[in-house]
Amino acid sequence: MGGESSPVEEVERLLQRGDPLLAYDRACHADSAALDAVDGARLGYLRALALARSGATERAAVELAGLVVSDAAMPADLVEDTAALHARLSKDRALAMDPSTQREGFARAAEQYEAVFRHYGRPYSAVNAATMRFLAGNRDEARTLAEATLALLGDDGPTDDYWRAASRAEAHLALGDLDVAARWLEIADRTAPDEYGDRSTTLKQLRLLCAAQGLSDDLLGPLGNPDVVHYCGHRISPPGGSGQFPSDDEARVAAEIQQALAARRVGWGHGSLAAGADVIVAEALLAIGAELHVALPFSVEEFVETSVRPSGDQWVSRFQRCLEAASSVVVTCDSAYMGDDALYGYAGMISMGQALNRSHSLSSPVWQLAVWDGNPTGLPAGTAHDVSVWSGAGGTSHVVSVGGPPRIVPAPPPADVVVQRRPVRAVLFGDLRGFSSLRDEHLTHFIDGVLPILAEVLDRHDSVLDRNTWGDGLFVALRDAASAAECALDLQHALDGIDMEGLGLPQMQMRLSAHAGPVLAGTDPIRGVSTVFGRELTRGARIEPLTPPGAVYASAAFASLLRVAPGAGVVPEYVGRITTAKDFETVPMYVLRRQQSS
């Protein structure tokens, strides 16, 4: 008997497919009043699991802390899974530690997993405890737990259950039985060919075991997820025209693109849809059944007139077919083009960040496919810019050379400073909770004891372009997302260290929002200083009122730019889709946390 799937089934399916952010959103927006107690508790567990799989460890911990699952009222598997998720979060924290202290973190996770195993006697917790003991250096205890896992699973048992097959493989890998482990990995692969999220979870765990034994993770090949590709390239010239991508080169370029994609199993593609390289790659991705995720720099209508139709009307229909078939489309700037090519560069960086985020979530290989003439330009947009940014983020590029054979030639980041009409800049907006209660007798202490400390933080950051304050409000413009993220967390840390009571002030916490996008740079006629203006400032300002005191909330664009920033020490954790102040927009939101190092 057919019918719609339940919210729990839908969220589980999204997690299996490897889309934890969408799974979390679906779980948050499910009608909980229509669920019974068991499904309500399971949905709460899935919310926390989705956050954990997305890398939002501390957000998952908060979600899990509010979840009460009773042994008496709930199914055994749900009770165990909920208890084991606490241990999983300890494991994730250990992975974020400095290598010199990781063993201690793995030992804590092992204790938690083992406690769950001893209480419930199920193989999932047993095999996780075995792996954590192995990583903590306790090989004898790891062997005992791996053998206990296999005893619970039986010698053979069913071969149509992914987690049972994966657990057998993990236990045999911990025991050093590599041939047997490989056989069970092949069985696990056959049982879950499209459950990319589940496979990613297993891959991350088994890679740790391989690394600890000095083994190549080639053993894990059967569970490898499809590749993620960021694509870019030159626009094609109209028939008879000249340019970086001559129209009579289309057939060769299309064939080489198809060959490059056929050589790797590709599941997801991220890029734009300009006439020429973009559309040709998009068509090839759709032809092999890959998901297409499109980022346009401005409105569809204006994009068609500037980036599609000039190459010939036939490209417009091809563009429309790809757009309709895309799994997602995001317009990265809702203001007009205004002849500003920096908007193309911004959209490219958003696409690159999205591709890297997806790769991280799915444990998938990620690479760039570029149709490029090989000439660095130093411009803030274009194929050379995208190849340069990708290389700077540590990525590798496969280049289909226009007019020549493919070659891998990532250009170094341009050294010249390029003047842009709307450069991409980061902005912070802050508000101090508790300020409105201050009277005049308090303000002297606030001005002398609080503001100088915040000012000192800003003075330390060379990337600050402008700053302003008005009462409890704070505005900071900075050169890029990575430096803005560091500055925001430094401001929060400095404020936490102030002895408000000693100053005779009430406890005050700051809400901070972070956003990055194309801005108008100029001189403020009122203050007479250089600053930034534009629609993106409004977008950033609308986030701040929804930010919890003491936190830094960041837009999805900011999170994407952080991902392509080399050596960024701050990580964005997914919060969910939030409607910003004054119903400005409903968008994905992230909270910023410093990358754990000890």
In the structure, what pLDDT confidence band is assigned to residue 418 with cuts at 50, 70 and 90?
very low
Strands 509-518 and 552-555, by their bridges, are parallel
pLDDT at 238: 93
For the ranges 6-10, 490-494, 577-581, the one whose mean pLDDT is highest: 490-494
| Cα 227 to Cα 212: distance, rounded to the nearest angstrom | 25
Whether the predicted pLDDT of 437 surpasses 70:
yes
Range with lowest mean pLDDT among 413-422, 443-452, 494-503: 413-422
Question: For residue 214, which phi and psi values (nearest 5 degrees)?
Answer: 70, 25
DSSP letter for 547, please. Answer: S
| Cα 129 to Cα 123: distance, rounded to the nearest angstrom | 10
pLDDT digits (tens, 9 = 90+) for 572-587: 999 999 999 999 999 9
pLDDT at 156: 63
pLDDT digits (tens, 9 = 90+) for 365-381: 999 999 999 988 888 89
476-to-82, 242, 493, 541, 552 alpha-carbon distances in Å? 42, 45, 16, 11, 14
Q: What's the maximum distance between 2 C-alpha atoms anywhere in the chain?
A: 79
pLDDT at 71: 66
For the chain, how many helices (H) and strands (E)?
A: 22, 15
| Cα 315 to Cα 322: distance, rounded to the nearest angstrom | 11
pLDDT at 35: 85
Burial (CB < 10 A; 0-12, 13-18, 19+), residue 264, is middle
pLDDT at 568: 80
- Rounded to an integer, the average pLDDT of 12-27 is 92
Whether the predicted pLDDT of 14 surpasses 60:
yes
pLDDT at 248: 92
Question: For residue 426, which phi and psi values (nearest 5 degrees)?
Answer: -105, 145
pLDDT at 408: 54
pLDDT at 154: 86
- pTM value is 0.89
Whether the predicted pLDDT of 1 surpasses 60:
no
In the structure, what pLDDT confidence band is assigned to residue 69 with cuts at 50, 70 and 90?
confident
Q: What angle do CA 354, 297, 396 make, to 5 degrees?
A: 40
DSSP letter for 304, please. Answer: I
Whether the predicted pLDDT of 465 surpasses 60:
yes
In the structure, what pLDDT confidence band is assigned to residue 413 with cuts at 50, 70 and 90?
very low
pLDDT at 144: 97
Question: What 3-state DSSP class applies to 225?
Answer: coil
pLDDT at 111: 97
Residues of the chain with pLDDT > 70, as a percent, come to 95
In the structure, what pLDDT confidence band is assigned to residue 241 with cuts at 50, 70 and 90?
confident
Listed in sequence order, the DSSP H helices in 242-341 are 250-262, 277-287, 300-303, 314-325
Residue 412 amino acid letter: P
Residue 475 amino acid letter: F
| Cα 48 to Cα 58: distance, rounded to the nearest angstrom | 10
